[in-house]
Chains A and B, each alone.
Chain A
């Protein structure tokens, strides 16, 4: 349904032109939940924003690539055409529910605004639809709460309102940018369950942007791992966690705090620092931190190549797939 090909996004910064997203290609099938994982600054949010044509410009710019939604290239649309897509075909929810709702407008105003923008509804119909939607995302007494201001709601409640807004026009694709990061753990679990339930109910695809592999394991069918603006591994969840192929993915999974059989002194970490994307090293960007590095890694950039188990990996010396 969604197919991204060779997407590259650049930003003009004080240190010159920086490529935040480089040759990223992936696809999302209808009704699928895909996790986009990576550290801060690896380009996952920029990838999400570029799907909606929301990369801040200037300084950002999509340099090349194609974003095909049901065969239509979104990058070829003009601003007005893009506005018709946003909020109706493709929706987005954001990290900070505290600031993602306008503090001086009621929830009802903000919800009916989307509905009236994309569907020819009267004020009353839009209000009814908004109340229904608030009920669907699990807000108690929606006909009362619709007239409240965001500050009268809790964080989890606001995130539900955001989800309700994003889903009210029945999008094909929902981009959720760290939707639960700002919430406490209990609320996090509830909101994730809600997203998964609604994803089934509305039969839409979801791209879940997160740095939390636990969240990915819980909700996604497939995951894409990004590092320094590039896709380094793509795999179905089961094989990704059971047998990661890229050393970076292995490192990420290894560094998840969990209950282990043997007592360990320290949580494993990936040694070294993420390189500055303004001055990326030649060859594989992960080479300097990699425990499987060999001489050729510093010379040639690996490309994403399909592997067994319907996955793909960008590494010259990937780990052996394990089958048990």
Chain B
């Protein structure tokens, strides 16, 4: 009986949504994916609120005693110098989203364009060049690269962003390149040539739209990777330079944990865990929904 309303929904769906509406319906049947999505949306609202100045704007101010306990005023207690840990954890959500979005969008864009050109001209010099770049970046240890970029930019707050974008595009690019090599042999590409389109127009208008499902999944994976890397980099002191982040909170807590005060550590870890976990669930469900080969 449960299948009946779904069938009706499928039939009633506007006829010209096609591939995406199919994926959408498949996604809607994935419980874990939906839970993940709602948690991510919740985080996004928190981040947006911080950005608009609705809450957590007092994250840097000393509002309580040193190492204050959990209370109605300070939900997660206060830290070493009496700053509210809850406000700091919320503010860090904004940092995480900013980083995740910027890195995911830009590295996916770079990866898509370079991968598409390499795949379309596979075997040619553009392909050789892009593959060489990928090899070079793959061969440099990530944290070393960040440190090197941070040094060369003189501790710029953008060092970590640049290092992540410069590294994370490679994975997307390899996937897109492979897909494009497959796509360019299809007849619609030949047909696009036959109507007189230029190669650049064919790549951007006809081939790249056929890789959107890959790009979407890759963007969510990159988002999570960026947030996780930020924590480690900030902990090492080469991540976020100004502002607050979960990584900086954990770095801060190293002294506190020794003194038996765990609030900072637990708050940052839990919030990060929640977002990463939810995003992974969302990303998995998205991948399943968009994969034409997977069984519903």
Chain A residues with CB under 8 Å of chain B are 52, 54, 82-88, 91-92, 94-96, 99-106, 113-114, 117-118, 147-149, 151-152, 162, 165-166
Any A CB within 8 A of the CB of B258: no
Whether the pair A113, B194 counts as a contact (CB closer than 8 A) is no
Please name the residue on chain B nearest to A89 by beta carbon: B196
Any A CB within 8 A of the CB of B193: yes
Q: What does the 1/0 interface line of B209-242 toward A look like (CB < 8 Å)?
A: 1101000000000000000000000000000000
List chain A residues, Cβ under 8 A from B54: none
Whether the pair A94, B16 counts as a contact (CB closer than 8 A) is no
In the assembled complex, 6 residue pairs joining A and B whose CB atoms fall closer than 8 Å, in A order, are: A100-B190, A102-B206, A104-B19, A113-B197, A148-B15, A165-B195
Whether the pair B15, A91 counts as a contact (CB closer than 8 A) is no
Any A CB within 8 A of the CB of B186: yes
Please name the residue on chain B nearest to A111 by beta carbon: B195
A79: min CB distance to chain B, Å = 8
A23–B177 Cα distance when bound, in Å, is: 38
List chain B residues, Cβ under 8 A from A162: 191
Whether the pair B197, A83 counts as a contact (CB closer than 8 A) is yes
B238: min CB distance to chain A, Å = 41
Whether the pair A86, B196 counts as a contact (CB closer than 8 A) is yes
Any A CB within 8 A of the CB of B192: yes
Which has the most chain A C-beta neighbours within 10 Å: B19, B186, B190, B198?
B190
A166–B212 Cα distance when bound, in Å, is: 27
**Which of B16, B188, B205, B209 sits near A101, CB closer than 8 Å?**
B188
3 tightest Cβ-Cβ pairs between the two chains A and B: A87-B195, A86-B196, A87-B196
What number of A-B contacts does a CB cutoff of 8 Å give? 78
Chain B residues with CB under 8 Å of chain A are 15-16, 18-19, 186-188, 190-198, 205-206, 209-210, 212
B109: min CB distance to chain A, Å = 18
Whether the pair A152, B188 counts as a contact (CB closer than 8 A) is no
**Which of A84, A99, A101, A152 sits near B196, CB closer than 8 Å?**
A84
**Which of A91, A117, A151 sits near B197, CB closer than 8 Å?**
A117
List chain B residues, Cβ under 8 A from A102: 188, 192, 206, 209-210
A186–B198 Cα distance when bound, in Å, is: 36
Q: A83-B196, A147-B16, A149-B18 are in contact. Are A101 and B191 (CB under 8 A)?
A: yes
Q: A85-B196, A87-B195 are in contact. Are A99 and B188 (CB under 8 A)?
A: yes
Q: A88-B196, A114-B195 are in contact. Are A100 and B188 (CB under 8 A)?
A: yes
Whether the pair B194, A99 counts as a contact (CB closer than 8 A) is no
